[in-house]
Structure 1
Amino acid sequence: MGNTAKNGFSLLEVMLVTLMIAILASAGWPTLQRTMQQQQLMSAAELVYLAVRDARLAAIGNGADWWFGKTASAELCFSDHAVIPAQCSPPHAAESSVIALQKLPEQIHVDVHFHANQAVRFSAHTGMAGFSAGHFAVRHQELADTTVKIIVSSIGRIRMCIEGARNSRVPPC
């Protein structure tokens, strides 16, 4: 008798639910954005790590010294000469790594920290770095508190570590 059934939702109910969803989504957006930036940083660091490893393997396999570092035009590339060239011209042995490094996003910056040059030199046949031990520091411009380092020891060991944020894929420095 006084029992009336409602069919559907009122406009007010739909607007309230939409508002609540919008508030929840806006609260989660900064976290999502930071996660995407961290993923971009880790992907770039892995590309640099693989390129350094390729340079070492090229030195071992080709029987010639190989260099990997920054050119005068701030590109990362390989060289089989004692001096890093002014611009990258990828040698055939490591061409795929150079192509991959050219796709680094604009927000990614790679700093080179080696003793004598802006590059690491791997010795022929042994792959040792000798006096050119040091590291590459990979940063994202939006993540000022986080740096991923690719460290090259004098015996040619290459490892990756992270400073700042915690990461389950990379150990802390």
Structure 2
Amino acid sequence: MKKLSLLFLSILFISCNSTAQDKKSTQEAEFPIVKSEAEWKKELTEMQYYVLREAGTERAFTSPLNKIYEPGTYVCAACQTPLYKGKDKFDSGTGWPSFDRVIEGNVAFDTDNNLGYTRVEEHCATCGGHLGHVFDDGPKETTGKRHCINGAALSFIPQDN
């Protein structure tokens, strides 16, 4: 019985000391633009920093981008990488800008288990900034996906510019 207890404690210790805890620093190193926390804090507003760098979520219905439905491009607020096209935006009724597709190659995906269940998390593929999450309740006539994105993570560039 002592050997079994010792084996159990050893396995428990090893599993608690995994590389999963180093995930954030590994992710950040994978993106072409890497800056220090101080550099990001200097460049971003408080809300942008909270959303993009700390994976926060803005309150629903607070983003001025939520109700814009004109031609243009939504870019990363941190690095200006084009992420979503205005033509792919729809009113999901959730209070966050929602899109049925991304600009291919400019958005990276990861798994998020922070709420106790698995969600697909979206990041800017250039700077690693947290954007939001993908859900399977989008428009059935297109992709069926809803990319639920924090407005603070985006800037909108009208098509005329």
Work out which of the two has the higher radius of gyration on C-alpha atoms and give 1 or 2: 1
Instruction: Report the structure, 1 or 2, having the larger helix content.
Output: 1
Please give the TM-score of this superposition, normalised by the length of structure 2: 0.27
